[in-house]
Amino acid sequence: MKNYSIYKYFLLSVIMAPIYIFSQENIDPFSWLEKIDSPKSMEWVKAQDTVTVDALKKFPQFQNIYGNNLKILNSKERIAYPSIVGKYIYNFWKDSVNERGIWRRTSFDGYLNASPNWETVLDIDSLSKADSVTWVFQDANFLYPDFNLCLLYLSRGGSDASVIKEFDLKTKKFVNNGFQLPEAKQSVGWIDKNSVFVGTDFGDGSMTSSGYPRIVKKWRRGTPLSEAKTIFEGEPGDMGVWGYEINTPERSYQFVQRSKTMFKFENYTIANDSLVKLEFPEDGQINGIFKNQILLELKSDWKTGGKLYQQGSLISIDYDKFINGSRDFLLIFKPGSRESIISVNNTKNFLLIDKLNNVRGELFRYELKNNKWSGEKISAPDYGTIDVAATDDFSDRFFFDYANFLNPTSLYLYEEGGSIRKVKILPEFFDAGKFEVKQYEAISKDGTKVPYFIIMNKDSKYNGNNPTLQYAYGGFEISMKPSYSATVGTAWLNRGGVFVLANIRGGGEFGPKWHLSAIKENRHKAYEDMIAVSEDLIKRKVTSPKHLGIMGGSNGGLLVGVMLTERPDLYNAVVCQSPLLDMKQYNKLLAGASWMDEYGNPDTPGDWAYIKKYSPYQNIFNDKKYPPVFFTTSTRDDRVHPGHARKMAAKLESFGKPVYFYEYTEGGHSAGVTNKEVAFENALTYSFLWMQLK
C-alpha cells in the first residue's frame, strides 16, 4: 500500500451588445465575466442558464433521456469499485438516497458476495447537512501500515481546493485536535502517526503562480502550523512542490518533488535527515519503489551508465546503490512503435504494467529475479481496455477491469495462485448486439496516420445522413481508450447516432512521442488530426457536415473551440465543456500557468505568434458563419476558469451567433456533483445534439 497522494444556448434573449472590433490591442469588453462570483457575472449566468434550459427542454425526448440516464447513474447494479486497504475493501457510492455519497467498507470475502454487507464509514449528505456546507468527498490518505487513521480531503462544491481533516477509522469520527487544514490547493502526507509532510498556503507568497504549494514542511502533532519545519522551497514560477512518503513492506522512503512545470521535475530523497538530489532526466517520472528498486519511466531517450534507454521505457535501479553512485539500471519494458505504458502497479511479489498496443489494452506481470526482470502477459480479454483497479502490497491478488465499446464493464479478480475470475459485471443498459465497432485511420496534413474508432448500427447506410458525434482530447499524454458508456448507448447509439473516438496527437496512445509531437509550436498538428478524422468520416459517407457534431472537455474544449473557429464548415453542432478558450489570458487564470509546457507562454512574443493563430477567443469574427455551440462550465471550477466559456459565449452572442450556455454552481472541473446534476447536463447535451444533427 502506497501512502502518498500527488497530484479532473442559444442566448435567445439577453443583451445584444454592439459589434466589437476585437483585437489583442483592444480592451476585452467581456473581462468582467472573469469575476467569478460577482453579482453582475452571476446575474448573467442565471439568465443564460434559464434561456438554455427553457430551449433544450422543449426537445420531445429530453425527459426520456434524463430519466434513463438518472436510472443508470443510480442503478444498484453498478460496479462498486474496490480499494484494498488493510483488511477492508473501501468504496465511495452515490445513489438516489445518498446523493452526495457514502464512504463505506466491507471485508475482502464480503465484497465478493453478490450483496456485500457494507459498513458506512462517513455519510457525506449527513455531514453536509450538519456543517451547512455542500461537501464533496475527494480523497483519503491512510496511515501505513495499520490504516486506523486517515487524512480526509473534502471539497466545497467540487473545487480542487480542499479542507483536510484527520479521521479515526476505528471510531468513524474526526479526531479532536487532530491534523486539520483550512481550504487550499494542498497536499498532506503521513510520515508517521505524529508527523506529516504538508504543503499548503502558509501565507507570505507560499503558493506558486499556478496556485499550488511552493514550500514543503514537516509538521508535528500538537504543534501550531507556524512552527512546522521547512524541508524545501521551490520558486514562485514552479507548478508546485510536494513532499511524500512511499511505504513498502520492506521499508519506507521519503521524497520531495519539485514540479518546475507539469512535465519537468527535480526529485529529492531524504536520507539521514538530508536532501539528496536524484540525478534523473527532468522529464523522467518516478513510478514508485518495488523491492527496493526505484521505477523510472522515461519521456525521452536517456544515456547513462554506458547504455542508451529508449523514450517510453520503464527502467529500475536499486535505491541504495543509486544513492551511492551506481548507474547500473535494469530494463523492465521497452515499447514498440505502437505501444505505450498506461499505468504501473504492484502486488507483494509482482510488478503490473498496463499498456496499450495500437489503442488496445494489455496487462503484463513482471518479476525481479537474479537482478533481472522477466515478464509475461496476463490472460485477460482482448480488443478493449484493461485497467488495474486495486492492488495490495501484502498479497498477490488484485482486481482489474475490462471494457470495450459494446460489452459492459467487467471486474476480474486475479487470485494468489494465478487463476482469474470475473466477480462483477455491469448490466447491459442497451442492446449492443445491433452495433459494430471498426477502427480506421485518417491521413493528417503531414501524412501521419491517425487512428479512430467508429461505433454504429450494423444496418446503417453509408449515405452521409447519419447523425455522428466525434469525441477527442489530444493533450497532456492522456489516452482515449475504448470504454463502455451506458449514456452514449442509450442517449445516442440507440436513437440512431454514430459515435467516433479519435486518437489524435497530443494524447498518450503511442507514448511520449505522440504527445510531444503536438505541443507548443506544433499544437496545430492535433487540430489537423481532428480535421483529418472529420474529413475521413465525410469521405466515407458515414456522415456529412450537416449531421456531424463534435464534443470535448477541458483541453478537449479548447480542441473543439479551435474546430469551431477554424473549420466551422465541417460541423453543425459543437459541445464545448469546461474549456480553455482565451489563450492570451489562460496563464493568468487559476491553474493556467502550470500548462505552459503544453501550450507555450502567451506573454512571450515568440510563443504568442503561434498561439494567436488558433486561440479561439481571439479568432471569432462577425462576418463568419458558425455552427451552433453549447458551452458548459462550473462556477466552482478552480482549475479551468469559467471565464473562458462565459466570455466566448458572450462574444459569440454579441455577434448574433447561435449559442447555448449552461453553468453549474458546483461540480468543480466536471459536470455537477450529484447524479441528478450529471443526468441533467447529459440530457441538455444530447437534446442539443439531436436538435442539430438529426
Q: What is the DSSP string of 161-173?
A: -EEEEEEETTTTE
Number of H helices, E strands in the chain: 13, 39
Q: pLDDT of 383-416, one tens digit each?
A: 899 999 999 999 999 999 999 999 999 999 999 9
Asked whether the beta carbons of 390 and 84 are under 8 A apart, the reply is yes
DSSP letters of 160-204? S-EEEEEEETTTTEEPTT-SEEEEES-EEEEEETTEEEEES--SS
Residue 619 maps to a domain: yes
Q: Using a CB cutoff of 8 Å and minimum separation of 24, what contacts does 234-237 make? A: 234/208, 234/258, 234/260, 235/208, 235/260, 236/205, 236/208, 236/209, 237/208, 237/209, 237/593
The CATH number of whichever domain residue 568 belongs to comes to 3.40.50.1820
CA–CA dist 607, 520 (Å, integer): 8
Q: pLDDT of 92-142, one tens digit each?
A: 999 999 999 999 999 999 999 999 999 999 999 999 999 999 999 999 999
CA–CA dist 390, 343 (Å, integer): 12
In this predicted structure, the answer to whether residue 625 has a pLDDT above a threshold of 60 is yes
Q: Using 50, 70 and 90 to split pLDDT, how confident is the model at 440?
A: very high
Q: Smallest Cα–Cα separation from 59: which of 691, 496, 694, 693?
A: 691
DSSP helix/strand/coil, 449: strand
Helix/strand/coil (H/E/C) assignment for every residue in 273-330 = CEEEEECCCCCCEEEEEECCEEEEECCCCEEECCEEECCCCEEEEEHHHHHCCCCCCE
**What is the average pLDDT across 472-484?**
97
Q: Using 50, 70 and 90 to split pLDDT, how confident is the model at 382?
A: confident
In this predicted structure, the answer to whether residue 22 has a pLDDT above a threshold of 70 is no
Residue 446 maps to a domain: yes
DSSP helix/strand/coil, 226: helix
Residue 116 maps to a domain: no
Asked whether the beta carbons of 402 and 410 are under 8 A apart, the reply is yes
Residue 636 maps to a domain: yes
DSSP helix/strand/coil, 418: coil
* 458-488: b (≥16 Cβ within 10 Å) or e: eebeeebbbbbbbbbbbbbbbbbbbebbbbb
CA–CA dist 10, 291 (Å, integer): 58
Q: Smallest Cα–Cα separation from 212: which of 164, 244, 265, 260?
A: 260
Q: Smallest Cα–Cα separation from 243: which of 252, 253, 254, 233?
A: 254
Residues in the chain, overall count: 694
DSSP letters of 556-587? HHHHHHHHHHH-GGG-SEEEEES----TTTGG
Helix (H) or strand (E) holding 605, with range, is: helix 605-614
Asked whether the beta carbons of 22 and 582 are under 8 A apart, the reply is no
- Angle between helical axes of 675-693 and 62-74 (0-180°, round to 10): 140
What type of residue sits at position 293? Q
Give the number of other CB atoms < 10 A from CB of residue 625.
8
Task: From the candidates 654, 669, 670, 687, give the one annotated as an active-site residue.
Answer: 669
Q: Using 50, 70 and 90 to split pLDDT, how confident is the model at 26?
A: low
Task: From the candidates 209, 460, 554, 594, give the one annotated as an active-site residue.
Answer: 554
Q: Smallest Cα–Cα separation from 634: which of 551, 552, 554?
A: 554
- Angle between helical axes of 524-539 and 555-566 (0-180°, round to 10): 60
In this predicted structure, the answer to whether residue 8 has a pLDDT above a threshold of 80 is no
Q: Which residues pair with 180 in a beta bridge?
A: 165
In this predicted structure, the answer to whether residue 17 has a pLDDT above a threshold of 60 is no
**How many structural domains are present in the chain?**
1
DSSP helix/strand/coil, 502: strand
Residue 229 maps to a domain: no
Active site residue 641: no
* 25-39: b (≥16 Cβ within 10 Å) or e: eeebebeebbebeee
Taking all residues of the chain, what is their mean pLDDT, rounded to a whole number? 94
Asked whether the beta carbons of 429 and 417 are under 8 A apart, the reply is no
Q: How far is CA 16 from CA 6, 19, 270, in A?
A: 46, 9, 60
In this predicted structure, the answer to whether residue 4 has a pLDDT above a threshold of 50 is no
In this predicted structure, the answer to whether residue 20 has a pLDDT above a threshold of 70 is no
Could you say which DSSP state residue 486 is in? H
Asked whether the beta carbons of 146 and 2 are under 8 A apart, the reply is no
Residue 600 maps to a domain: yes
Check residue 670 and give its pLDDT.
82
Check residue 5 and give its pLDDT.
35
Residue 488 maps to a domain: yes
Asked whether the beta carbons of 241 and 258 are under 8 A apart, the reply is yes
Q: How far is CA 542 from CA 351, 534, 538, 547, 571, in A?
A: 43, 10, 6, 10, 14
Which residues constitute the domain of residue 513?
Answer: 47-70+436-693
CA–CA dist 409, 402 (Å, integer): 6
What's phi and psi for 4, nearest 5 deg?
-150, 150
pLDDT > 90: what percent of the chain? 94
Task: At 539, list the grid cell.
Answer: 469521405
Asked whether the beta carbons of 674 and 137 are under 8 A apart, the reply is no
Residue 561 maps to a domain: yes
CA–CA dist 147, 3 (Å, integer): 10
H-helix segments, 594-657: 596-599, 605-614, 643-654
What's phi and psi for 477, nearest 5 deg?
60, 30
Helix (H) or strand (E) holding 50, with range, is: helix 39-56
